[in-house]
Amino acid sequence: MHNLFNLLNTAWWRFEWRYWRHQTPWDTQITPPEVLAYIRRTRPGRVLDMGCGTGTNAVTLTQNGWQTVGVDFSPKAIAAARRKAAQLGLAIQFYLADVADLGFLHDSFDYIFDIGCLFALTAVQQKKYAAEITRLLKPGGDFMLYAWLPRSHKGKIRGISSRRVADLFQPALLQTQMVKGRDGPGESAWYWFSRQQ
């Protein structure tokens, strides 16, 4: 699940180093209102948290009756997530793994969500990630995605266009909604997809 590729990946080292230094502005320890609204109106089932970080959202889902699986490529984040769940007495499966390579998961999910993971992947990884979402989402299931729209960040263009998002997941999944917002100096968006029965 966690392979040599990560050890040779500079992005992996940057994330891991920031976890070690507690420089993780993305780790707000707060579940977004979009996720809270979804779980308030939806009957609990099985949920997959893509890029789960230290497990804040996985904990929230589990406390609301969901059977939760979290995946992240940071050993430091996964260790923190496991500690958090253990301290609260919650049974959550956390896996140290690449979100674009989830062949070890075989059971399908009613709900999959990603808050800020997809747009940080390479184009090749994005295609593999989308294939995994399509494989793992149950008919009638929902996928929610939060991502930066393209912006200049530290001398590079970061983010993913809404057209690219649509191309990755359609027609296998139906996009039902997109809401744009702002995240710091740039635009971002929430996307909602469903898998047809």
Tell me the per-residue pLDDT of 117-132, one tens digit each, with 9 for 90 and over. Answer: 999 899 999 999 999 9
Q: What per-residue confidence (pLDDT) applies to 157? A: 81
Mean pLDDT for 17-34 is 71
Backbone angles phi, psi at 72, to 5 degrees: -155, 155
What is the CATH topology of the domain spanning 4-194? Answer: Rossmann fold (3.40.50)
pLDDT the model gives residue 8: 45
Torsion of CA 115, 162, 169, 39, to 10 degrees: 40
pLDDT at 82: 97
Q: Tell me which of 28 and 102 has the higher pLDDT.
A: 102
Higher pLDDT, 6 or 145: 145
Per-residue pLDDT tens digits for 123-173: 999 999 999 999 999 999 999 999 999 988 677 788 999 999 999 999 999
Cβ burial 32-53 (10 Å sphere, 16+ → b, else e): beebeebbeeeeebbbbbbbbb
Average pLDDT score, the chain: 89
Answer for the pair 158, 122: CB distance below 8 angstroms, yes or no.
no
| Domains in the chain: boundaries | 4-194
45-89 pLDDT per residue, tens: 999 999 999 999 999 999 999 999 999 988 888 999 999 999 999
